[in-house]
Amino acid sequence: MSPDVIALASDHGGVELKALLKDELLKAGHGVLDLGTEGPQSVDYPDFAEAMAEAIRSGSAGRGVLICGTGIGISIAANRYPFIRAALVSDVTTARLARSHNDANVLVLGGRTMGAEVAKDCLKIFLETPFEGGRHAGRVLKMGQART
Ligand code: RB5
């Protein structure tokens, strides 16, 4: 169980941003688990959402960052796992609220839609912001209840 490890995964649309954020995390002293992809060749984002879900499920990582071209496909795929709360954010405000209100455990970014500096700021805020609990706790609990 490695709750302090942060897993990173992307498809080809997010590979450059993933490398940049991985460097930031390592520089800041975080443990990092890189789940790929590694190059520009076309891959399927649901496979990387699944790898992230498995890393969180197994406890290999406590939190994660997912990136595809827009962040849309990989967030839809990740949120099919009931223990994943993947938040596609667009700025530091949504990154902060994803943590404080939604207890998001996976930050999702668009590699082709977000600038590097904004992405770095979003990651920093995401990692620093605690969940508020209180009125939000029951809502988060309801999101985790499996549906058929
Ligand atoms: C891949 O071309 C692209 O569709 C993917 O990265 C993502 O943007 C999907 O939502």
Average pLDDT for consecutive 10-residue bins of the chain (148 residues)? 88 98 97 97 98 98 98 98 97 98 98 98 98 97 83
The number of angstroms, rounded, from the C-alpha of 73 to the middle of its chain's C-alpha atoms is: 13
The number of angstroms, rounded, from the C-alpha of 78 to the middle of its chain's C-alpha atoms is: 9
Q: What is the pLDDT of residue 2?
A: 75
CA distance 76 to 94: 17
CA distance 98 to 91: 11
Atom nearest to 72 CA in ligand 1: 10
Q: What is the pLDDT of residue 17?
A: 98
Smallest CA separation from ligand 1 atom 3, residue: 69
Q: Which fold has domain 5-27+39-111+129-143?
A: Ribose 5-phosphate Isomerase B; Chain: A, (3.40.1400)
Boundaries of every domain in the chain: 5-27+39-111+129-143
Q: What is the pLDDT of residue 148?
A: 65
Is the minimum distance from the CB of 72 to ligand 1 under 6 angstroms? yes
101 annotated active-site: yes
Q: What is the pLDDT of residue 77?
A: 98
CA distance 20 to 111: 11
Is the minimum distance from the CB of 69 to ligand 1 under 6 angstroms? yes
